[in-house]
Structure 1
Amino acid sequence: MREDHEELVLRNPAFVSCALWYFARTFSDSREGRSPTLAHMVLATAMLLHERTVEKIARMQFESGLLKAVVEEPELFAGLQRRVEAALPVCLTALQVGVSTQLLMRDGDSGLPAFRAGGAALPIPIRQNNSTNSAARRLGAWIAADDLPILQARLGVKL
């Protein structure tokens, strides 16, 4: 992983948009077509901006689940509330980029907006096989497995 991981991601909303595309795709695939809400996207962004969390999740088996990551390395999730709050502006900018480029499509008429992955695959010029996108795919499946209140309780965050 690069020394400037977080700086690279924070300064590049297009990169975060691509990671959120992978997150939204696997979330929808795992949740029978339901789209992740803004709260899910902010939580995923906060986790994907944390280098050690990305490294851990990218190395795990796809079937392992988020609870296993929390149990194995609880220190990764210490300070997650602060990271969630800091990730909000980054997430919103990335969602704006994603929606305006049609990488992401806005869903939902009531409550929090939801976002789904636009298209069947990312365009070839912007596809990257890196640890952040691998972690985003796993997070999409893992976060989809639980309802938001249960997820919040497990991770100790308020969204």
Structure 2
Amino acid sequence: MSACVTRFVLAVTVTASMTLGGLGAPSACAAPQIPDFGSYPKADYQDFVVRDTQVYSVRGFQTPDGLFCTSSSHRGMHALDCFGAFPAAPEEANTVHLFSSGAVVSPVAFKVATVGPAEFEGHPLPLLPAGINYAFDGAQCVRDARWLLACAMGTGDAQDGFVVTAGKTEAF
């Protein structure tokens, strides 16, 4: 359970048990601000391919802050996995997983896992330049002066993702 949801559930429980003790209703946690991914120029596909086969291809990148991600698509399913030291991540996670199948977008999954080097099958991952939209495999990721990394999967209300800013990692 995310820290935001945990705080909200705790606040609801405390408020209900105080039976109108003069406290207002708990406020829900505000969603983090997210970038307008479409306002960034799209990255060139060939710059981020680390495995290109007819059956299964993989793209990926790394950031100067030590975060790195790989993405892939297969039969209508899209996945983005990011790794590294995410500041103040839920449950101290060092892995973030985004997934969609058709129009169904799964919630963001934060996990603790063994993290290797910033490579895929021995291929080093290229640096994602600031101000470029990595828009492949159903995912979009950007980084700039405001976001160390922001990634999303899906569109509109069916969009899930995460943002990493100085000292904080949040899901949306």
Instruction: Please state which structure has a larger fraction of its residues in strand.
Output: 2
**Is TM-score (shorter-chain normalized) higher than 0.5?**
no
Larger radius of gyration: 2
Normalised TM-score (structure 1): 0.28
Instruction: Please state which structure has a larger fraction of its residues in helix.
Output: 1
The answer to which structure, 1 or 2, has the higher relative contact order (CA under 8 A, 6+ apart) is 1
Normalised TM-score (structure 2): 0.27
